[in-house]
Chains A and B, each alone.
Chain A
Amino acid sequence: GENVEQHPSTLSVQEGDSAVIKCTYSDSASNYFPWYKQELGKRPQLIIDIRSNVGEKKDQRIAVTLNKTAKHFSLHITETQPEDSAVYFCAASVGAQKLVFGQGTRLTINP
């Protein structure tokens, strides 16, 4: 069935450095790819999303790239700050009805 793989499961970077999280998906019909940030004890919140008709989208320090041929997409955070520490989830649409999520990446920004 549909599957989303996310790597790495944990990531630790120095403040100011960049962080990259990668996801692959199995359903070639997937056309919507959001990223969610979940701080400890809080709800997941959308931080950026991309649709299949574009290859890259940027919002300030956050960018997402999509390679439909290879069926993978990535989240890039530049100039990381302590408040970027959280768990990040990627997701891919399935059947235009639901989202299947990756297992999450715990990002820690070291001061």
Chain B
Amino acid sequence: GAGVSQSPSNKVTEKGKDVELRCDPISGHTALYWYRQSLGQGLEFLIYFQGNSAPDKSGLPSDRFSAERTGGSVSTLTIQRTQQEDSAVYLCASSLMSGGNSPLHFGNGTRLTVT
């Protein structure tokens, strides 16, 4: 079946602009995660959703970052007033149950470049 879908695949934006990244998880997966991967670096946890609620937002770097999930499905990650240090690949993942007990399935990511 279809995997995790993210859009756009690439986004170039000017410093100070807002961006919205979208994630469409695998159908039936209740848990959804956002991670950030800077060039050549590891996977930095941002936020986790179980259904529509976000029990863990501890990884959001600042109040410029927010995320929501509606209908237990699609999620959007919004970055306001983008800064150059926000440039990275933003990866979304979903899992059948909470990721502490079942594998994460990743999307291809959105490569964000802030100029």
Chain A residues within CB distance 8 Å of chain B: 6, 31-32, 34, 36, 42-46, 49, 89, 91, 93-104
For window 21-65 of chain B, which residues contact chain A by CB distance below 8 Å?
A: 33, 35, 41-43, 45, 48, 50, 55-56
DSSP majority for the B interface? loop
Residue among A43, A101, A102, A103 facing the most chain B CB atoms (10 A cut-off): A43
B41 touches A103 (CB 8 A): yes
With a CB–CB cut-off of 8 A, which chain A residues contact B33? 98-99
Whether the Cβ atoms of B99 and A104 lie closer than 8 Å is no
Known: A42-B108, A43-B108, A98-B56. A34 touches B103 (CB 8 A): yes
Q: Measured between alpha carbons, how far is A44 from B109 in the docked complex, in Å?
A: 10
Cβ contacts under 8 Å, A97 to chain B: 48, 50, 55-56, 98-100
**Given A93-B99, A93-B100; A100-B108 close (CB under 8 Å):** no
B104 touches A46 (CB 8 A): yes
Q: Is the CB of B42 within 8 A of A104?
A: yes
A49-B98 Cα distance, complex, nearest whole Å:
15
Is A89 within 8 A of B42, CB to CB?
yes
The answer for the CA separation of A111 and B86 in the assembled complex, in Å, is 38
B67 within 8 A of A: no
Q: Are A49 and B108 in contact (CB under 8 A)?
A: no
B contacts with A, residue count (CB < 8 A): 23
Interface flags, B86-103, vs A, CB<8A=1, else 0: 000001000000111111
Closest to A100 in B: B45
CB pair B100–A96 under 8 Å, yes or no, is yes
Q: Of all chain B residues, which has the CB nearest A94? A: B100
The 3 closest A-B pairs by CB, nearest first: A96-B100, A93-B100, A101-B43
Say whether B99 contacts A99, CB under 8 Å: yes
> Can you name 7 extra interface pairs (CB under 8 A) apart from A95-B56, A97-B99?
A34-B104, A89-B42, A96-B98, A98-B33, A98-B48, A99-B45, A104-B42
